[in-house]
Structure 1
Amino acid sequence: MRRIPLLLALLSPSLALAERIGEVSTVFKWFGPNDRIVVEAFDDPKVEGVTCYLSRPRTGGVKGGLGLAEDRAEASIACRQVGKIHFREEIKDGEEVFKERTSLVFKSMQVVRFFDEKRNTLVYLVYSDRVIEGSPQNAVTAIPILPWGE
């Protein structure tokens, strides 16, 4: 029922698309889907050999089933080197690599990438923002760029 993220992904070809890995139910709802925690994966669109895994809450119930509920501003991220790292094009610090709406209009969850040149490490930050007021809740993960099966 989440057509808005698909539409945004189609309009933003430089952003990654998430693949659902699994989910667990956290709160039973009599009507509509249960509240749950969803685990998704996406590949960095500009850095070959990097996959990120997100876990985040999804609101259920009638509003959640219709795509009208606002999901909580909490997420966890773990990015890993899954192959030889190759930069497909130049990257910029703070560049958005993944974004998905977490409410009908005003709130989104996004992942941005930084490059720590001194340590030769990619750093990914997930956070939630809102048009008027964002959330300080965030999570970070880092990947040292290492040789891969040469």
Structure 2
Amino acid sequence: MRLASCLAVLLLTLPLAAQARQIGEVDTAFKLIGPNHKIIVEAFDDPKVEGVTCYLSRARTGGIRGGLGVAEDRAEASIACRQVGPISLAADLRDGEEVFRERASLVFKTMQVVRFHDRERNALVYLVYSDRLIDGSPQNAVTAVPIMPWGTSPGR
């Protein structure tokens, strides 16, 4: 009974399948056993804003623990979101809504991206940060996408 309860909690805390597609990676440290430490670059589309793609770079821990999927990745990340087509906003956008989440450790740490709509400046603001069940990290990165007509050049 106790084992079943622990397994249920573990399954509930695991994140859903990643929404991002890996664009590329670079090695940052050689590991004799297991994969090298890396920086990976991923792309994902905002699920509620058509015409916006975000690019996220973050560390991926290698070595034996990284190869087994039990290592904890670092909290640092960088994000750049861009308009890639006509922007169409869903009617139910909420400030601070999560648009991307991926685990950064076996159970308790996640990297996530949330969106804010800056109506005064007609822009979308995306924030990436890492959190942990007990103690999160203040490290973060932010990017903004001005909502502009698609297919027109500036100054016309």
RMSD of aligned Cα (Å): 1.5
The amino acid that maps onto 2:94 is K
Q: Counterparts of 2:89 and 2:119 in 1: how far apart (Å)?
A: 14
- 2:119 is the counterpart of 1:117: yes
Match of 1:9 among 16, 35, 59: 16
Q: Counterparts of 1:148 and 1:90 in 2: how far apart (Å)?
A: 22
The amino acid that maps onto 1:147 is P
Q: Give the SS at the match of 2:32.
A: coil
Aligned length: 140
Match of 2:90 among 64, 67, 88: 88
Structure 1 or 2, whichever has the larger Rg, is 2
Match of 1:26 in 2: 28
Q: Which runs of 5+ in 1 are unaligned?
A: 11-15
Q: Counterparts of 2:97 and 2:28 in 1: how far apart (Å)?
A: 33
Q: Counterparts of 1:89 and 1:44 in 2: how far apart (Å)?
A: 14
Q: TM-score by structure 2 length?
A: 0.86
Q: Give the SS at the match of 2:130.
A: strand
The amino acid that maps onto 1:44 is D
Match of 2:59 in 1: 57
Match of 1:13 in 2: none
Q: Counterparts of 1:91 and 1:53 in 2: how far apart (Å)?
A: 21
Match of 2:108 in 1: 106
- 2:135 is the counterpart of 1:128: no
Q: Which runs of 5+ in 2 are unaligned?
A: 1-10
The amino acid that maps onto 1:9 is L
Q: Counterparts of 1:126 and 1:61 in 2: how far apart (Å)?
A: 25
Please say which of residues 85-94 and 111-120 is displaced more in the overlay: 85-94
Note the alpha carbon deviations across 1:23-75, whole angstroms, 9 max, x for none.
Answer: 00000000000000000000000000000000000000010001000000000
Q: Counterparts of 2:41 and 2:29 in 1: how far apart (Å)?
A: 16
Q: Counterparts of 2:38 and 2:151 in 1: how far apart (Å)?
A: 38
Deviation at 1:8, TM superposition (A): 3.0
The amino acid that maps onto 2:82 is R
The amino acid that maps onto 1:35 is H
Superposed counterparts of 1:135-150, under 5 Å = 135-149=137-151
Match of 1:79 in 2: 81
